[in-house]
Structure 1
Amino acid sequence: MNIKKLAVFALIAGSLVACAHTSDRKVSMRTVTVPQLSAYNWQLAEATDRQGQPLPGFAAGSSMTLNFSGQRLNISGGCNNIISSYQLNDQDMQIHVPVSTMKACTPDIMAQDTAVMAFMNGQKLHVGLLNAENNQNEQPLLLIENQDGEHLLWRGIPAAAAQYGQPTVVFWEISPQTQTCQTAHGAAQCLKVREISYNDQGVKVKTGVWRNFAGKIDGWQFNPQENQVLRLNVYEVKPDDVTGTAADNQYVYKLDQIIERSVVTSPKRKYK
Structure 2
Amino acid sequence: MTKTLKLTIGSLALMGLAACAAPNSSNTAPSERQMDKENSLQAYHWRLFATADKSGQQAPGITGANGEPVTLNFTDNMMSVDNLCNVLGSGYTIKGSKITFTSPVSTMKMCSDPELMRNEQAVGKLLPTATDWSMAKADSAPDNPAPVLTLNFKDGTKWRLKGEPTASTRYGSEPTRVFLEVAAQREACSHPMMPNYQCLKVREIQYNDAGVKTHTGEWMYYYGDIEGYTHTPGVRNVLRINRYELKNVPADASSKADVLDMVVESEQVSQ
TM-score for the superposition, normalised by structure 1: 0.61
Match of 1:160 among 168, 180, 192: 168
The alignment's C-alpha RMSD in Å is: 4.2
For residues 64-143 of structure 1, what are the structure 2 equivalents within 5 Å?
66-76=72-82, 81-102=87-108, 104=109, 107=112, 115-116=119-120, 118-121=122-125, 122-124=128-130, 127-132=133-138, 137-143=144-150
| Structure 2: runs of 5 or more not aligned | 1-35
Shift of 1:206: 3.1
Match of 1:250 among 229, 251, 255: 255
Q: Does structure 1 conserve the Cα–Cα contact (< 8 Å) formed by 2:77 and 2:91?
A: yes
Q: Percent identity?
A: 28
| Structure 1: runs of 5 or more not aligned | 1-31
- Which digits, 9 at most, give the CA deviation of each residue in 1:119-139, with x for residues without a partner? 144231554335259x67323
- Which residue of structure 2 aligns with residue 13 of structure 1? none
Match of 2:210 among 186, 201, 205: 201
- Which residue of structure 2 aligns with residue 41 of structure 1? 44
* SS across alignment from 1:33: helix
Q: 1:197 to 1:144 in 2, by over 3 A?
A: same
Shift of 1:113: 7.7
Q: 1:170 to 1:177 in 2, by over 3 A?
A: same
- Which residue of structure 2 aligns with residue 235 of structure 1? 244
Shift of 1:140: 2.4
**What code does the residue aligned with 2:105 have?**
V
**Following the alignment from structure 2 to structure 1, what is the Cα–Cα distance between the partners of residues 78 and 256?**
28
**What code does the residue aligned with 1:155 have?**
G
* Range with bigger deviation, 222-231 or 195-204: 222-231
* SS across alignment from 2:94: strand
Question: What is the aligned length?
Answer: 226
Q: 1:126 to 1:59 in 2, by over 3 A?
A: farther
